[in-house]
Structure 1
Amino acid sequence: MEVIAIQKSILEGLTNELKTLLELTENTTKKYTPIFKEEKWLDNQEVCLMLGITKRSLQTYKDKGLLPYSKLKRKNYFKLSDVQALLRAGQPYNTNDNGSID
């Protein structure tokens, strides 16, 4: 085992920096936690499986405004309640193999 000795002031400085980083992380997490606790969010693959559609058809639904979504770091997320509402209403359009609406 290797033992490394550092000055107490350096250790305290590192400890303070880690505490500051932890506080920043907790504050950022608190900001977004209520959003995710209120609603279950699904990614593209989960929505495609639930609706029984292809990724291209899902893109058509998004383009036509049939299914609202949110984007976080280049990834799309859909509220479970929105997907369920679309299922209850019956999928408003059928899409053919190339994703265009029939």
Structure 2
Amino acid sequence: MEVIAIQKSALDGMKNELKELLEITKSATEKYASIFNKEKWLDNQEVCLMMKITKRTLQTYKDKGILSNSRLNRKNYYKLSDVKTLLEAGQPYNTDTDGFNN
């Protein structure tokens, strides 16, 4: 076991810096915590599996405004409630290339 001796004032300074860093981290994450705690978010793969659609169909849903998404660190996320709403509607959207809903 190695023992390192430092002055009490240096130790107190490090403690204070750590406390400040913890406070900064808490304040930075507090404003986003309510967003993620209230709603479950899904990524592309989870949405495709849940809806039984391809990634291309999911992209079409996004392009046509059928399913909204949010981006975080270049990754798309979807609200579970939005996906459930679309599923309950029976996916009435035909995404054929002609652009018309059938």
Bin of the TM-score, shorter chain as denominator length: 0.7 to 0.9
Partner of 1:71, secondary structure, is strand
Distance in 1 separating the partners of 2:55 and 2:93: 15
Structure 2 counterpart of 1:81, one-letter code: S
Residue 93 of structure 1 and its aligned partner are, at CA, apart by: 3.1
Aligned equivalent of 1:33:
33
Q: Which segments of 5 or more consecutive residues in structure 1 lack a partner in the other structure? A: none
Structure 2 counterpart of 1:90, one-letter code: G
Instruction: Evaluate the alpha carbon distance shift between residue 77 and residue 46 of structure 1 in structure 2; reply closer, same or farther with a 3 A threshold.
Output: same
Q: Percent identity?
A: 70
The normalised TM-score by structure 1 is: 0.85
Aligned equivalent of 2:11:
11
Q: Which segments of 5 or more consecutive residues in structure 2 lack a partner in the other structure? A: none
Give a deviation string over 1:17-54, Cα, whole Å, max 9, x none.
Answer: 11011101111222111111211111111101111011
Instruction: Evaluate the alpha carbon distance shift between residue 21 and residue 101 of structure 1 in structure 2; reply closer, same or farther with a 3 A threshold.
Output: farther
Q: Tell me the number of residue pairs that the alignment of Structure 1 and Structure 2 aligns.
A: 99
